[in-house]
Structure 1
Amino acid sequence: MTRSENTGSIDAAAAAAAEEGTSSQRNLTRWQYGLLFALGLTYTAFHLLVLNVFPIETWSFRILHVAGALVIGFAIVAACTPPAEQRRRRWALELIPMVLTGGLALYALGTVALAHALRAFQGLDAQSMPPWLFPSFAWALVAATVLGILFAWVFRPRSDRIGWYDWSLMAASLSVAGYLLFHLAALQFRAGVLPTQPDFWVSVAGILLILELTRRVAGMALVVIAAVFILYGFIGPWLPGVLEHSGYAADRFFTYLYTDNGILGPTTAVSSTYIVLFIAFAAFLQASKVGDYFVNFAFAAAGRARGGPAKVAIFASGLMGMINGTSAGNVVATGSLTIPLMKRVGYKPRSAAAIEAAASTGGQIMPPVMGAGAFIMAEVTGIPYTELVIAALIPAVLYFASVYFMVDMEASKLGMKGLPSKDLPRLGALLRQVYLFAPILILIGALFLGYSVIRAGTVALMSAVVVSWLTPFRLGPMGAARALELAARMSIQLIAVCACAGIIVGVIGLTGVGLRFSSMLLSVAENSQLLALVFAMGISVLLGMGMPTTAAYAVAASVVAPGLVQMGVQPLVAHFFVFYFSVISAITPPVALAAYAGAAISGSEPMRTSVTAFKVGLAAFIVPFIFFYHPTLLMQGEWWQIAQSLVTSLVGVYLLAAAAQGWFFGRAPWLARGLLFAGALSLISGGLITDALGLSTAAVLLFWQLRFARGRGEGTPAASSEAT
């Protein structure tokens, strides 16, 4: 694989990523493309300036953050996939809906603009405004929002331009922000307590807009869950047991959700700061081709090894997945390159897709970025970010070691070889460009030197620009502008997801259902702490199915983690427990989004692929239980205890991989696989006695396999292929 060919493949992967993440994404042309470019550039630059130079009031910043994402999102993502062939528009049918919806949207936008103008030029406050102004504004806004969402489905969209219905939704998004900013001081006191009718209708319109954009960019799963939680806010009085609550008036309920207890709360706090910043960092790496260097380096380092492309997928997906924040999106971005190559060297389509899915999902638990999960955890728990990164190190090493061992054993079992040297980048040439790793190293170094996360991310972003000057892809002013616009596009999905997750978090806080789940966990734990953990695992995985990692963890942290803390678990351990299971829901059947994305590329059957991905990522289902009982895996303890846990756990995940693959220096029969699994659990658990038991089991099995499996000829690739 030549450098140019590899770069071309990566570009194709990036295009496929965009297509997979949002298949209804538009490719705008002419002046609309220029407008979107300007909006994206302004949006990202605004965030970087506010975070580093010109801070503004928190609510104002988050309101503008959500509004900007809604405007850009409705511009670039259609309500459904545009038809391949554009049919002649039937303007006669669209004229009346267009005039009605557009007129209402323009009236709402013009009315709120008038209010701001009267305040700016005549000094009028909200009480001095004409009495008809805000009531009529609210009705027009809600009507424009509902009609815009409806007509976006009735009239098929075009792929190269923004539909009039989406212009209406963009105007409605600006109107919501304009109203909230105008009444900001009053809303901070009266929202959710004594709201006005316009407050209520504006909140309803804002929530509808967020749900619609979330549906467009992330699918129906999260929208359905949010809708269930909203419904729960009203039907609580008729529900049994722990689900019962007294119920809420609609105006109090919806206005409460649009405060810093809900949409403008912790999830949006993270998306408006860390997520935008680190996606901008990733965009600059991509624009300067430094991201391509990571993949090239992985190919040069591991491509020649047996099953080389699979090992490349582990390294490359781990590096890129920790930054881009989505498991399924990372599968498509790197899997479009690695999955065909895995199939080429002998992996079955199902295995190739599963390996890529497991590796990409693991990127979400990979320090220092952890797909934005660490930032939400720091926001929710108050634990310093650097402490979270250190705690995440050993579990991440164990996960990727486990995946690597499984890949290597399957390659050995099937007698695979690596890629020919002529198809790979030259390692010597890449080593001379090792300075391209500088942005990642600067990020890590700045964090541990005591810089804030925002300042460290900004320094790393600037270093990506500087490093690009040492490559043929130097970022000048125009290149930096493209990177800023790309960052806005890349961040829309996560921003919408975080805002939608804020709705769920708001309902949980208002109804107190999280505390009730905590009480349920406590009652279960009185009989069996292990059963309580299994129950917590099930809830975390269930909440995460079909949802992006960020939203899955945000919801699980509100529902499950408090119960574990009440059981006496350290907050760090409790939140890592639910975080891991929220992440690996992406490879957990029956709804395994990362595995399904890989199956679409490899052409394998999705459900079987998800089962295989579950097997490849098996360590991630065991490790959280171990660090619950033995927190040394989270760097909690003396250095010698941590070192012992690391070494024995690495041996344990090797045995775990051997048990899953049925290969331990030769084909392992079912009895040996059972003993390997028991030895793996003993070694990972971290106690001195269990470590001794696990090592003894491994030594006996090793002697047996070397003596008898090799003696039967089962240790050779040819024999193993026949056995398989």
Structure 2
Amino acid sequence: LMEGCRRTVGWVMLLIAALFLFYSAFGDLLPSGFAIKSYSLQELIQFQIFSANGVFGSALGIAATTVFIFVLFGAFLEVTGAGKFFIDLAFSIAGKYRGGPAKAAVLASAGLGSISGSAIANTVTTGSITIPMMKKLGYKPEQAAGIEAAASTGGQIMPPIMGAGAFVMAQFTGVPYSEIMLASIAPAILYFFCTLLYVHLMACKLNLQAVSRTEAVISVMKDGAHHLIPLALITTLLMMAYSPLLVGVAGCAAILVTAALRKHSRIGLKKFIEGMKNGALMALPISAACGAAGIIVGVVGQTGIGLQFTQFVMDFSGGYMLIALGLISLVALVLGMGLPVTAAYIVLAVMAVPMLSDFGLPLLTAHLIVFWLSQTSNVTPPIALAAFAGAGVANANPMKSSVEAFKLAGGLFIIPIMMAYTNLVNSEAGVVALTYSIIQTLTIIIAIAVAIEGYLLRSLTGIERLLAFFTIPLIMLNPFGVGFLGIVIMLGLILVQWKGRGQISQS
């Protein structure tokens, strides 16, 4: 397992798993605050190999069944031409607007990223088409790379499939996957609104124009509408609470059947084998990482280190949830620098979810916060893997690209905080509470974007930027119950900008 992990994922995952094993074997030699009862080689092997709590635990079980079948689903989408259809559809919808190729990149990556399960793979495949078009339109290479990386990373939190981690979450929480999917819809849409808003503001500041010619939606749908049938099928079956494994098998079969309906998408034996091969190759890193993550989960369960971590973070945060969330995000960032997203989520969930539950958060909310924060390493300097991949396609500066991606993917940090402080993913709170939570989050996203970019409907004055910044803590922390004033201030700022825009156009 360790050698397979080294070959597919790299040295970091291997070293982390080895570190945890050494902790189990030699933990009695550490200082009193970290010391544990040491375990013999026989005890370690019995627990890690011959029980369902270690290597052959829930993480590897999910990777070998549900995750693999959906990775295969994504591979079949690619070989049948469905991936190209989604990109063409995104361009036909968004291409005619200002900054159209960038907006199309966001939409296409949202669709493909949900299925592919890899932000880096999605950045390279979708980006090979979208990044050159963005550069041609007038975006800087670093901006084009950052846009694609941020959009591709968002694909991992977009229903219906949400990469591999959401299936692991269903196993960990015992919550039906359909509930996880429903709870994730509003946050995912808010994330892509955040990314699209930055893209639009960039286009306005650069005075970019729309693409002169884009293929009509009707024409694109005429050629590839049948590719939507498998997606509609798996979404319906997941909502009807069928087993994800059964849904994945049905989805794979549906792709092959629907592709055979049209001559241009029909595949032969060679393409079918290619799809099978690609699916197996894409599943290898996930499976090896989940197996190694099982070692870490086993050590945490065997030694009780998770309780120590929880106590440490609670003590360091002083009982303030915002500080605790900041510490968890730092741990997520460090883990994500060397681990695939699914493995980072598993490790972080075992360590951090009990602590978040101590703050009174529901189990699903705590897991979703950790799941979102485990995505951040793809777009956060100094090691932003998806942004670096985008920089390679765009021939751009990797570090500058990662800074742009970090800004565009701000929703990965804002939305988990709002999950903790509002009812954004708490379905039991009711429709009114959910709507107000969405409005709060939307206002904060707009406030941060316009304050950073200095542009809304026109350039902001210094006072207007300060007002935008002021609304952020006002809404988030809700001092003395007056957080709603932040929404009022932001609405007033939009009205002032609108009136000022009219006066400029008249003059």
Please say if 1:427 is aligned against 2:217.
yes
- Which residue of the partner structure matches residue 470 of structure 1? 261
1:307 counterpart residue number? 99
Residue 354 of structure 1: how far off its partner (Å): 0.9
| 1:712, distance to aligned residue in structure 2 (A) | 6.8
SS in 2 for 1:547: coil
Please name the residue that 1:277 is paired with: 69
Does the CA-based 8 Å contact 2:415-2:441 persist in structure 1?
Answer: no
* Residue 84 of structure 2: aligned partner: 292
| Corresponding residue number in structure 1 for 2:123 | 331
Answering whether residue 356 of structure 2 is matched by residue 564 of structure 1, we say yes
Q: Match of 1:655?
A: 447
Question: Which runs of 5 or more residues in structure 1 are unaligned?
Answer: 1-209, 717-724
**How far off its partner does 1:680 sit?**
4.6
Aligned to 1:447: 238
Q: Which runs of 5+ in 2 are unaligned?
A: none
Give the Cα separation in 2 of the matches to 1:682 and 1:243: 40
Kindly indicate whether residue 318 of structure 2 is the aligned counterpart of residue 494 of structure 1. Answer: no
Is residue 165–residue 342 contact of structure 2 (8 Å, CA) maintained in 1?
A: yes
User: 2:384 aligned with 1:606, yes or no?
Assistant: no
1:631 Cα deviation from its structure 2 partner: 2.4
SS at the partner of 1:370? coil
Partner of 1:220: 11
CA distance in 2, matches of 1:241, 1:566: 24
Q: TM-score, normalised by structure 2?
A: 0.93
The residue type equivalent to 2:361 in the other structure is: V
- How far residue 707 of structure 1 moved from its aligned partner, in angstroms, is 5.0
Over 3 Å counting, the alpha-carbon distance change for 1:518 and 1:689 in structure 2 is closer
Q: How many residue pairs were aligned? A: 504
* Aligned counterparts of 2:482 and 2:165: Cα–Cα separation in 1: 32
The answer to which of 637-646 and 552-561 deviates more is 637-646
How far is 1:673 from its partner?
Answer: 2.5
1:349 aligns with 2:149: no
Residues 482-631 of structure 1: matches in 2 within 5 Å?
A: 482-524=274-316, 527-631=319-423
Distance 1:604 1:670 in 2: 32
1:245 matches 2:36: yes
In structure 1, what residue type is equivalent to 2:220?
L
CA distance in 1 between counterparts of 2:407 and 2:29 reads: 42
Give, as a single letter, the amino acid of the residue that structure 2 aligns with 1:362. G
Partner of residue 405 from structure 1, selected from 197, 207, 220: 197
Corresponding residue for residue 494 of structure 2: 702
Alignment map for 1:59-78 (pairs within 5 Å): none
Question: CA contact under 8 A between 2:379 and 2:406: conserved in structure 1?
Answer: yes
- Asked whether the 8 Å contact 1:658–1:676 carries over to 2, the reply is yes
| Structure 1 residues 602-647: Cα deviation after superposition (integer angstroms, max 9, x where no partner) | 2222222222211111122111111112124443411122223224
Shift of 1:476: 4.6
Could you tell me how far apart the structure 2 residues matched to 1:710 and 1:501 are? 57
Contact 2:177 2:241 in 1 (8 A): no
SS of residue paired to 1:246: coil
The 1:562/1:233 distance shift into structure 2, 3 A limit, reads same
Root mean square deviation, CA, Å: 2.4
Moved more, 401-410 or 622-631: 622-631
User: CA 1:253–1:669 in structure 2 vs 1: closer, same or farther (change >3 Å)?
Assistant: farther
Q: Is the 8 A contact 1:325 1:549 kept in 2?
A: no
Equivalent-residue separation in structure 2 for 1:435 and 1:670 (angstroms): 52
Name the CA shift for 1:558/1:645 in 2 (closer, same or farther; >3 Å).
Answer: same
Query: Does the aligned pair in 2 maintain the 1:318–1:362 contact within 8 Å?
Result: yes
- Superposed displacement of residue 539, structure 1: 2.0
Once the two structures are superposed, the pairs formed by residues 147-166 of structure 1 within 5 Å of their partners are: none
SS in 2 for 1:371: coil
Structure 1 residue 345 displacement after superposition: 0.6
TM-score normalised by length of structure 1:
0.66
Q: In the aligned structure 2, how far is the partner of 1:685 from the partner of 1:278?
A: 40
Measure, in 2, the Cα distance between the counterparts of 1:688 and 1:310.
Answer: 41
Q: 1:478 to 1:222 in 2, by over 3 A?
A: same
| 2:434 match | 642
Rounded Cα–Cα distance in structure 1 between residues aligned with 2:293 and 2:460: 46
More deviation in 428-437 or 615-624?
428-437
The residue number in structure 2 matching 1:24 is: none
For 1:340 and 1:524, the matched residues in 2 are separated by 47
Label 1:699 to 1:605 Cα distance change in 2 as closer, same or farther (>3 A).
same
Is 2:32 aligned against 1:233?
Answer: no
Following superposition, the deviation at residue 682 of structure 1 comes to 4.7
Q: 1:389 and 2:215 equivalent?
A: no
In 1, distance between residues paired with 2:287 and 2:77? 20
Contact 2:418 2:441 in 1 (8 A): no
Q: CA deviation at 1:577?
A: 1.2
1:374 and 1:697 mapped to 2: Cα distance?
A: 37
Distance 2:193 2:475 in 1: 15
Shift, 1:253, TM fit: 2.1
Percent of matched pairs sharing the same residue: 35
User: CA offsets per residue over residues 559-603 of structure 1, 9 Å max, x none?
Assistant: 111222233321111111111110122112222111111122222
> Partners of 1:240 and 1:533 in 2: how far apart?
27
Shift of 1:250: 2.6
Tell me if structure 2 keeps the 8 A contact 1:544–1:582.
Answer: yes
In structure 2, the CA distance between the partners of 1:657 and 1:635, relative to structure 1 (3 Å rule), is farther
Following superposition, the deviation at residue 225 of structure 1 comes to: 2.0
Q: Does structure 2 conserve the Cα–Cα contact (< 8 Å) formed by 1:318 and 1:363?
A: yes
User: Which structure's relative contact order is higher, taking Cα pairs within 8 Å and 6+ residues apart?
Assistant: 2
Cα distance, 1:395–1:455 mapped onto 2, change above 3 Å: same
Aligned 8 A contact 2:414 2:445 in 1: no
| Distance change (3 Å), C-alpha of 1:691 and 1:612 | same
Instruction: Work out the CA distance in 1 between the residues paired with 2:143 and 2:211.
Output: 18
Q: Please give the alpha-carbon distance, in whole angstroms, between the structure 1 residues aligned to 2:326 and 2:261.
A: 51
Question: Partner letter of residue 36 of structure 2?
Answer: H
